[in-house]
Amino acid sequence: MSNVHHLINGQAVHAGRMADVFNPSTGQVIRQVGLASIETVREAIDAAQAAFPAWRNTPPAKRAQVLFRFKQLLEANEANIAQLISEEHGKTLEDATGELKRGIENIEYACAAPEILKGEFSRNAGPSIDAWSDFQPIGVVAGITPFNFPAMVPLWMYPLAIACGNTFILKPSERDPSSTLLIAQLFHDAGLPKGVLNVVHGDKTAVDALIEAPEVKALSFVGSTPIAEYIYTEGTRRGKRVQALGGAKNHAVVMPDADLDNTVNALMGAAYGSCGERCMAISVAVCVGDQVADALIAKLTPQIKALKIGAGTERGLDMGPLVTRAHMDKVIGYVNAGIEAGASLLVDGRDFKVPGHEEGFFIGGCLFDHVTTEQTIYKEEIFGPVLCIVRVDSLEEAMRLINDHEYGNGTCIFTRDGEAVRLFCYVIEVGMVGVNVALPVPVAYHSFGGWKRSLFGDLHAYGPDGVRFYTKRKAITQRWPKRASHEASQFAFPSL
C-alpha cells in the first residue's frame, strides 16, 4: 500500500499521523495519507516565505511561460489524473476528465499574467504630475480545498495566485489527495522554482496552523458553511484577507412554458451528476403550478430509475458512489428524515447495490415530492443524489421562496418567457444565475461565488476577482520639477 506524502520546497516529505484513503467503489483502503503536524506546516510556510522574494521579482512573462508548460503537462497526463480522481472520489471517469478541463481553463486565464498585472497610468494628472496604479503580490497565501473537486478547485486558486507573484501553500482534502499531489508535482516539472507551491495534507491541526501563522497573508477556502464561517472569522480576526466559499441549496424554477424534455435532461445531470456532490448541484425543483410538477415528475421518474450506476473507474456510467461510508449514511439519514417529515418519496435509492461492489458506498437516485420549506431536506444541503420537488402558484412565490433561503449560491430558471427571465435575473438574491442552464458555473475569465451564507468575504474566486484578491493595489504619484524652478510652499490640499 502506497503512502501520499507532503510536497515542501520541491521535495517529498513523509511526516505526520496517517489516515486511510478509500476507494468508494469497493469500500477498501487503497492508500494512506500523512496528516501534517504544526511543525510540518511551519516547514511549508518557511519554504514559501524564502521563495517569495525571488518569485515576486520574476517577470510576469516568465511566470506565464511556466504556466504554459504546466498546462501542457496536465493535458498530457489527463488519463492518469482522471483515474486517480475516480479511484479516490468515486466520480465517473468522464466527470473527472471534465473537472480537470475546467481547472485547466483557469491556468489559461493565469497565463495572461503580463496583461492582467499591467496596472494603469495617467500622464499629467496634475501640473507635471504623473500617476499610476501598480498591482503587487501579497506574499505567502494559502488554500484549503474540498474533496468533491480535488483537481478543479485547487486550480481555481494557486495558478492565479502564483501568476500574480505570490507563493502558495495548499491544504487539500485528505479523502482524495493523490490527484492533487500529482498535479502539483507536474507544476514543478514545468519549471516552477522550489518553495513557490507547497502541499500539506491534514485535518484541523493543519488548518489552524495556517490560520494562526502571521506569515500567511491570505486564505482561500471552499467547503461547508460552518467551516467557511470559522475560517473567515478566525482569519480576518488576525488581519488576513479571506475568501471562504460555503454551502448551497440551489433551486431550479420550472415555468409552465418550459421545454420539459430539455428541462428534464438538464435536471438529471445537475441533480445526479457526481452523485450530487457538487456545490452547484440542483437539489430543489420549484414547479410553478401542479400541472408542471406532475408532468415533470412523470418524465423524471423513469430516467432516475434508469440511472447507470457503478464503479467510477468504469466507462459509460451516469453516477458513481458517494465519497465515504459516513457520508452515505448521512445522505440516507436525510432521506429518512424527509419521509418522517411527510414528504412523498417517489424514487427510493437507499438500498441500491452494485453487483460485485456490495461494500461500496453506493446510493441510487432519490426523488421527493410535496416538500415544504419547513422540512430539513429543504433547508439543509444534502450533498447527495436527492432532488426535492416544491410546488408554488407563481413566479413571484418561487422567487420569494429562493430569496428567503439562507444560501444564495446558484439558481436557474427554465422558460421561454423573456419578461420572466429579466425579472428573475434582477430580483433573485443569488450569486450565479442560469437561464435554461442548470449549472451556471462561470468560465475562467469571470468569477465564481454566491451570496448570503454561501460566501464569506467581498471577492469571488478566480477570474478578475481572483486577481484582486491575490494582489494589493499601490497608487503612485510622481512629479519631476523643472530645473532651476522654485515654487512657493503650498499649505492647502493639492488639487488641479
Q: How many CB atoms lie within 10 A of CB 282?
A: 28
Rounded to 5°, the CA angle 136-460-278 comes to 135
Grid cell for residue 223 = 467547503
DSSP 164: T
SS3 percent helix, strand, coil of the chain, rounded to 5, is: 40, 25, 35
How far is the C-alpha of 481 from the C-alpha of 484, rounded, in Å?
A: 9
Q: How many CB atoms lie within 10 A of CB 350?
A: 14
Q: Which stretches does DSSP call E strand in 163-295?
A: 167-171, 197-199, 216-222, 241-245, 250-254, 282-288
Grid cell for residue 238 = 488576525
**Length reported for the chain:** 496
The residue among 143, 155, 66, 70 whose CA lies nearest residue 105 is: 155
Q: Are 167 and 195 in contact (CB under 8 A)?
A: yes
Q: Are 170 and 152 in contact (CB under 8 A)?
A: no
3 state SS of 17: strand
How far is the C-alpha of 239 from the C-alpha of 158, rounded, in Å?
A: 21
How far is the C-alpha of 224 from the C-alpha of 206, rounded, in Å?
A: 17
Question: Please, is 355 exposed, middle or buried when counting C-beta atoms within 10 Å of its C-beta (0-12, 13-18, 19+)?
Answer: exposed
Grid cell for residue 347 = 424514487
Grid cell for residue 232 = 473567515
The residue among 88, 194, 197, 102 whose CA lies nearest residue 141 is: 197
User: Cα separations (Å) of 393 from 135, 294, 400?
Assistant: 51, 14, 12
How far is the C-alpha of 129 from the C-alpha of 481, rounded, in Å?
A: 9
DSSP 274: G
Rounded to 5°, the CA angle 167-455-341 comes to 135
In the residue annotation, 279 being an active-site residue is answered as yes
Catalytic residue among 111, 164, 275, 279: 279
Alpha helices in 341-462 (DSSP H): 376-379, 395-404, 418-427
Which residues does the annotation mark as catalytic? 279
